């Protein structure tokens, strides 16, 4: 498996298909503007050994109120690639990219609308993230300091 930055339009239709499979998890409508997302975030695709889209992730960097740079990661896995370590691979590779950018605070926001909410929160906790904020009926904020 390999992770590469997606700057070209080669994968856009496949990316949109994967995103729409997870639209409730991210609060997307039935139309996802992949090009707009690529302009706003560092966008990556994971390709399996057959060079097919296995999943994707994106990174948003920002300054917190203390002036420190933080990153927020989001990812999703193509339905046929579930339970194969694809999500873990994407997350670990994005964490390496973030650390190499001299950022050591990584966040993930899990939307309550995600149909796999409990599983995803537990999965991030197993990846070393800590629960920062969880309120009944609200999204959950997880953070990892590297």
SS (H, E, C) the chain: CEEEECCCCCCHHHHHHHHHHCHHHHCCCCCCCHHHHHHHCEEEEEECCCCCEEEEEEEEEEECCCCCEEEEEEEEECHHHCCCCHHHHHHHHHHHHHHHCCCCEEEEEECCCCCCHHHHHHHHHHCCCEEEEECCCCCEEEEEEC
29 pLDDT band, cuts 50/70/90, is low
State the architecture of 2-145 in CATH terms: 3-Layer(aba) Sandwich (3.40)
Mean of pLDDT over the chain: 88
For 7-26, what is the mean pLDDT? 75
In this model, does residue 138 exceed pLDDT 60?
yes
- From the number of C-beta atoms within 10 Å of its C-beta (0-12, 13-18, 19+), residue 16 rates as middle
Q: How far apart are CA 91 and CA 146, in angstroms?
A: 13
What pTM was estimated for this model as a whole?
A: 0.86
Tell me the pLDDT tens digit for each residue of 86-132. 999 999 999 999 999 999 999 999 999 899 999 999 999 999 999 99
């Amino acid at each position: 498996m390999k992770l590469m930055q997606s700057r070209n339009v080669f994968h856009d239709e496949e990316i949109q298909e994967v995103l729409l499979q997870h639209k409730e998890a991210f609060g997307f409508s039935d139309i996802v503007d992949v090009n707009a997302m690529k302009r706003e975030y560092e966008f990556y695709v994971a390709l399996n050994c057959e060079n097919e889209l296995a999943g994707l992730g994106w990174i948003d960097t920002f300054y917190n109120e203390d002036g420190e740079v933080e990153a927020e990661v989001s990812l999703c896995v193509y339905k046929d690639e579930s339970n194969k370590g694809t999500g873990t691979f994407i997350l670990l590779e994005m964490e390496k990219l973030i650390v190499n950018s001299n950022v050591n605070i990584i966040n993930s926001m899990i939307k309550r609308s995600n149909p796999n909410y409990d599983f995803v929160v537990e999965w991030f906790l197993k990846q070393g993230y800590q629960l920062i904020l969880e309120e009944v009926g609200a999204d959950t904020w997880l953070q990892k300091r590297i």
